[in-house]
Amino acid sequence: MEVPLVPQTNRKKTPMYLIPLTIAITLVSILVYYYPAFLRFHTPNNTVLIVNGQKIHSAIYVENNEILIPVDVIRDKFDPDFYYDRNTKIAIVTTKDKVLEMKTDKLTGYINSEEISFEAPIREINGKLFVPIEVLAPLYKLDIEYYDSANSVVIRDKKRPVQKAVITSDYTFLRKHPTLRSPWILKLKAGEEVTVYKEENNWLQVLTTKGKVGYIKESKSQLIAVAWEPYIRNEVNIPWSPLGGKINLTWDNVYSRPYSFSKAPFIKGANVLSPTWFHLTSEGYIKNQAYKPYVEWAHENNYQVWALFSNSFDPDLTHRVLSDPVKRKKVRNQLLVLAELYQLDGINIDFENMYYEDKDLFVQFIKEITPFLHEMDLTVSVDVTVLSQSKRWSLVYDRKTLGDTVDYMIIMAYDQYPHSSKVAGPVSSIYWTERKLKEILEIVPHDKLILGVPFYTRLWREQKTEDDNIKVTSQALSMENAEKLLHEHNVQPVLDTKTGLMYGEYKEGDSKYKIWLETAQSMRKRVDLIKKYDLAGLASWRRGFEKPEIWDVIAEEIEKRP
């Protein structure tokens, strides 16, 4: 079948004058779209701060060749724990092995008590604190460059790897943003090297040798090897630990001196003694009950001595000292003198019953004192309670930061039912201990954690009152006295499966007495937890409350392989 032809309509021809007009409109559209690309971006007159490739929108000052940057930038980019006390105008920076102390408007400061000087001091300008970054650079491992021609300060973390690239085209423009529409900052030539910060949609953010930061097309460059720039590493403190074994510490409760240690029997398996010698007193002074012959005797018997330093369990006194950097320093200096005087091997810090508001100040104190103690080759340990909702006794501890700072953390896994409890219960049931241990292991590494165990128990008295209520009171007993008491009342203790402890009770008059015993059997279970979770060791409260055979049990069990 033949398809009929459809007649074509007559088309009007485009007038010739419209052709150049169309071309002109197209060119103008292209020009308008790409116009910014033909403009050069001019850096403002203010000095530009660049930290690891990021421009920081904050005022900085250059004075006597010293670069002063705001403390909020330091806290945001380098050290969230930068400490400044507005009352005393003292700034303190702490690292693993250094403590830097500076004071506003002073040209001298101290690093680990050694005086240093700088060209420009820390200053308060318009209500903001500015700090000379060159002083902090060695502590934070920073590389700092000031580019006069670019009016820029470039700060780089020297612990980060450095990626370099070489420009491959003479027609390479450094642009403000990663797009061809962005104004250009600088024209680069083939062969120039740049530092690469990051890649973004086929663009590279780079730092030029002239101190300019911007973007280049990835295709205009070639990456070269990644390198770590060398920097001086501080010597890492290696905490003391017994060769091939676990720490076996016992606290030695000292009431006065001289201490009658010479009659104390040799403690099988123990390797650290922690006498309760140092206590915080008014205005930042330390009450000293140390006794040099004790240390000499301990060293002769191959014990280390980690003297305990407490806050006297006084929250008001603790607050007055912790909130004042001058008093903290006074305490620190006294402790250092005492450690040197008595030739100690370590310090055990036991601050308890503190105000929750002093949580960060306690961390600051520990961070300020630990580097000094490490310089003296002292082992630093801190005691903490189990996790609970008590603000003064548990929430006051920042266990993560404390664990990162000190050598060892001792978890005091006892007082499950404290002396003030309205209900009778064990000092530390086995299952409760394991549960609390697992909670803290989520925060603190196992090889830094020492399990604190009780050598004591409590005798609970439940007495019916005239209004038919039950009044509960308790008293602490040593292992020997607890067993003696049950024997006197003809009580044969039985295993309490809920607690894992031996239990006994008896009646006397209108009162019922209950007791959960600490025995060789319960101690084996506690040591089993140390081996099960590969902890750093054991700490016992306190020497003198145990039966002599307990040391044989601990030594035998702790040395067994899990």
pLDDT winner (highest mean) among 222-231, 266-275, 482-491? 482-491
Tokens of 497: 């499966």
* 231 vs 271, more confident: 271
Average pLDDT taken over every residue of the chain? 89
- Residue 428, pLDDT > 50, answer yes
- Residue 234: what pLDDT? 47
The tens digit of pLDDT for each residue in 359-371 reads 999 999 999 999 9
Q: What percent of the chain has pLDDT over 90?
A: 69
Decide if 225 contacts 211 (C-beta within 8 A).
no
Q: Mean pLDDT over residues 551-560, rounded?
A: 89
As a whole number of angstroms, the distance between CA 164 and CA 144 comes to 17
Comparing 393 with 159, which gets the higher pLDDT? 393
Span of 155-159, 227-231, 428-432, 514-518 with lowest mean pLDDT: 227-231
Helix (H, G, I), strand (E, B) or coil at 209: coil
38 or 84, which is more confident:
84
Give me the mean pLDDT over the 482-488 stretch. 97
pLDDT band at 161 (very low <50, low <70, confident <90, very high): confident
Cβ neighbours of 311 (radius 10 Å): 23
d(CA 162, CA 181): 29
Q: β-strand 511-517 against 456-464: which pairing, if any?
A: antiparallel
pLDDT at position 233 is 46
CB 472 within 8 A of CB 486: no
- At residue 283 the predicted structure's pLDDT band, cuts being 50, 70 and 90, is confident
- Mapping DSSP onto H, E and C, the string for 290-345 reads CCHHHHHHHHHCCCEEEEEEECCCCHHHHHHHHCCHHHHHHHHHHHHHHHHHCCCC
Q: What CATH number belongs to 247-454+521-558? A: 3.20.20.80
pLDDT of residue 162: 80
Q: Burial letters for 324-353: b for 16+ Cβ neighbours within 10 Å, e otherwise?
A: bbebbbbbbebbbebbeebebbbbbbbbbe
Whether the link from the prior residue into 315 is cis, omega within 30° of 0, is no
pLDDT at position 45 is: 55
Question: Of 3.90.470.10, 3.30.457.10, 3.20.20.140, 3.30.300.280, which CATH number belongs to 48-154?
Answer: 3.30.457.10
**Does the pLDDT at position 99 exceed 70?**
yes
Q: Is the pLDDT of residue 407 over 80?
A: yes
161-227 belongs to CATH 2.30.30.40: yes
Q: What percent of the chain has pLDDT over 70?
A: 88
More confident residue, 512 or 58: 512
pLDDT of residue 59: 85
pLDDT digits (tens, 9 = 90+) for 290-347: 999 999 999 999 999 999 999 999 999 999 999 999 999 999 999 999 999 999 999 9
Sign of the dihedral defined by the CA atoms of residues 343, 347, 351, 356, in that order: positive
b/e per residue 196-228 (b: at least 16 CB within 10 A): bbeeeeebbbbbbeebbbbbbebebbeeeeeee
Cβ pair 551, 524 in contact under 8 A? no
The reported pLDDT for the residue numbered 29 is 57
Q: Which of 210-214, 245-249, 403-407 has the lowest mean pLDDT?
A: 210-214
What does the pLDDT read at residue 327? Answer: 96
Lowest mean pLDDT among 25-34, 373-382, 547-556: 25-34
Tell me what pLDDT residue 4 has.
Answer: 45
Interval 8-52: pLDDT, tens:
445 555 566 566 666 666 655 555 555 555 555 444 457 889 998
**Nearest-5° Cα angle at 551, 549 to 556:** 100
* Residue-range domain boundaries for the chain: 48-154, 161-227, 247-454+521-558
**pLDDT exceeds 60 at position 86:** yes
Confidence of residue 1 (pLDDT cuts 50, 70, 90): very low
Render pLDDT for 338-349 as a digit per residue (tens, 0 to 9): 999 999 999 999
Q: State yes or no: cis peptide before 542, omega within 30 of 0.
A: yes
- Taking residues 254-278, what's their average pLDDT? 78
